[in-house]
Amino acid sequence: MSGSPVEAYSNSPLPESLTINGWRVGLIVASFAISLPSFLNGAQISLALGLKEALLVAALSGVILCVGGCFTSVVSVRSRLTTYTLIQRSFGTGGSALVNLVLAIIHFGWFGVNISFFGDALVAATQEIYGIEGDFRIFVIIGSALISISTIFGFKTLDRLALIAVPLLGCVLVGVCIMSINQNGIVLKASENPPVPMSFGIALSALVGGNLLAVAAMPDLSRYVRTAKQSVGAMVLSFPVASVLMMLATAIPAIAMRETDIMKMIVSFGFGLPALALLILSTWTVNSLNLYSASLSLTTTFPKIQPWIFTLVGGAIGCVLALAGLINSFVPFLLALGFIIPPIAAIYVIDGMRLFKDADSVASLRNLPLFRWRAVGTWIGAVCVALLAAGGIFTLTTVPALDAALIAAVMYLLLLRILPEEAPVPSRSSIVDGGVL
């Protein structure tokens, strides 16, 4: 495992010597499901749909995310490139600047959402456990600063956090479920007046949308996996398993207690210090990835600026968003992600498996055009069509996020067939002694 800082190999292929076993990346990805936004999302969905439908939504979302994660991770293992260099060779240097900037802003937004949950939950936890009335703003500022500083050390931070966080968080959730069942039994029915009423399709879209950024940015992590087969195993270990277990652990106490605040539920069962550990570790792991990926994104776009600067600035922006009340728009934020992100991943995956399938990773980043209009046009067109689908004008799957991905894939494949690339990309076999034959 490398102890390299965040900027290591952000604009070039990762050396094979720094790769690790796939299960370690799978643990990191699984840890993202055990977060405060996931708790809220799962509680709201279970109260709206009931236990059985909530678990079905979780299972379907896990399969969808696993399939998407398999595609994005395999492409990255083959190339050893970050998400943002993959985007750069697909969209061109100018087109990728726009896309990467949008993704960085989304990462900062997610940082703000998570740190907002962190602040609110820490206020409630300290009040319930120690009788101390904490200050939301202080918790947010201190949490943002500490997470930002630790993220400067890059993938090493994520790996170590996951190895500690996943087992501990799993034990706490199992304990909450057992105590909830002993106290209230298992309640299957949805709430008559759920806090956020939603249909099955909207629930699926929110659950998928809440994890799409992780799928699209998966190359930042999966490039460290030794083989493509191990990367697929990491995705199977993470999304399908973690999504269902997380929903089960959230839905059982949420439906029984008619409560969406996971920290109140945990504290009410007598989990004091474990509750604080759950809060801190879950937020730290997820927000470290947000800053890590955003820094890689902006480093690709602005290579002359030191990446640690982006990490610290991103933490500050997320902190400001949290203090400004971004959490109040949580569900619309999730749904918006479902329109923007899937087409991006669809495009660079198709390029990775067709245009750059046998390409040398270094050579594929040379002499890039300012814009690859096929990719830019597909992205904009797919987002517009997905917005129409979300407005009820038409739908393919009833899930806007899936509609966006399918529309982008079809549009892009058609454009590549109608307007093929004029110049072939140098393959690995044509590279000799660092030059192109």
| DSSP output for 50-94 | -HHHHHHHHHHHHHHHHHHHHHHHHHHHHH---HHHHHHHHHHHH
Phi first, then psi: give them for residue 325, nearest 5 degrees: 95, 30
Cα–Cα dist 200/16, whole Å: 43
Contact between 49 and 42 under an 8 Å Cβ cutoff? The reply is no
The proportion of the chain whose per-residue pLDDT surpasses 70, expressed as a percent, equals: 85
Query: What confidence score (pLDDT) does residue 351 get?
Result: 93
Cα–Cα dist 141/221, whole Å: 27
Is the per-residue pLDDT at 3 higher than 60?
no
pLDDT in tens, 66-123: 999 999 999 999 999 988 899 999 999 899 888 888 888 888 888 998 898 888 878 8
CA 94 and chain centroid, separation:
24
Most confident of 135-144, 320-329, 360-369: 135-144
Tokens of 11: 């604009």
Query: What confidence score (pLDDT) does residue 57 get?
Result: 93
Domain ranges of the chain: 20-329
Among 83-92, 194-203, 404-413, the range scoring the smallest mean pLDDT is 194-203
Please state the rounded mean pLDDT for residues 381-408. 78
Contact between 13 and 81 under an 8 Å Cβ cutoff? The reply is yes
3-state DSSP assignment of residue 434: coil
The candidate with the shortest Cα–Cα distance to 382, out of 338, 420, 335, is 338
CATH fold label, 20-329: Hydantoin permease (1.10.4160)
Q: Which value, in Å, is the radius of gyration of the alpha carbons in the chain?
A: 21
Among 145-149, 196-200, 219-223, 406-410, the range scoring the smallest mean pLDDT is 196-200
Q: What is 313-352 written as a DSSP string?
A: HHHHHHHHHHHTTGGGGHHHHHHHHHHHHHHHHHHHHHHH
**Whole-number average pLDDT of the chain:** 81
Please state the rounded mean pLDDT for residues 278-291. 77
Residue 140 has, within 13 A of its CA and on its CB side, a CA count of 24
Tokens of 273: 């210090």
Which residues does residue 359 pair with via DSSP β-bridges, in sequence order? 427
At position 408, the amino acid (one-letter code) is A
Among 15-29, 168-182, 301-315, the range scoring the smallest mean pLDDT is 168-182
Is the per-residue pLDDT at 436 higher than 50?
no
Please state the rounded mean pLDDT for residues 49-57. 92
Contact between 116 and 322 under an 8 Å Cβ cutoff? The reply is yes
Query: What confidence score (pLDDT) does residue 90 get?
Result: 92
Between 155 and 414, the higher pLDDT residue = 414
Is the per-residue pLDDT at 176 higher than 90?
no
Cα–Cα dist 104/340, whole Å: 13
Please state the rounded mean pLDDT for residues 225-243. 91
Is the per-residue pLDDT at 132 higher than 90?
no
Between 34 and 143, the higher pLDDT residue = 143
Query: What confidence score (pLDDT) does residue 334 get?
Result: 60
Contact between 291 and 151 under an 8 Å Cβ cutoff? The reply is yes
Q: What is the 3-state secondary structure (H, E, C) of 418-430?
A: HCCCCCCCCEHHH
The candidate with the shortest Cα–Cα distance to 430, out of 348, 358, 378, is 358
- Tokens 């940015």, residue? 217
pLDDT in tens, 331-353: 566 666 667 888 999 999 999 99
Tokens of 281: 């570790």
Cα–Cα dist 38/249, whole Å: 11
Q: What is the 3-state secondary structure (H, E, C) of 123-180?
A: HHHHHHHHCCCCCHHHHHHHHHHHHHHHHCCCHHHHHHHHHHHHHHHHHHHHHHHHHH
pLDDT band of residue 437 (cuts 50, 70, 90) is very low
Query: What confidence score (pLDDT) does residue 432 get?
Result: 45
Q: Please name the helix (run of DSSP H) or strand (run of DSSP E) that holds residue 362, with its range, or none.
A: none
> Which residues, other chains included, contact 132 with Cβ-Cβ below 8 Å and sequence gap of 6+?
126
The candidate with the shortest Cα–Cα distance to 174, out of 274, 272, 260, is 274
Query: What confidence score (pLDDT) does residue 408 get?
Result: 92
pLDDT in tens, 415-426: 998 887 655 555
Query: What confidence score (pLDDT) does residue 412 get?
Result: 94
Cα–Cα dist 70/75, whole Å: 9
Contact between 289 and 25 under an 8 Å Cβ cutoff? The reply is no
Contact between 235 and 70 under an 8 Å Cβ cutoff? The reply is yes
3-state DSSP assignment of residue 218: coil
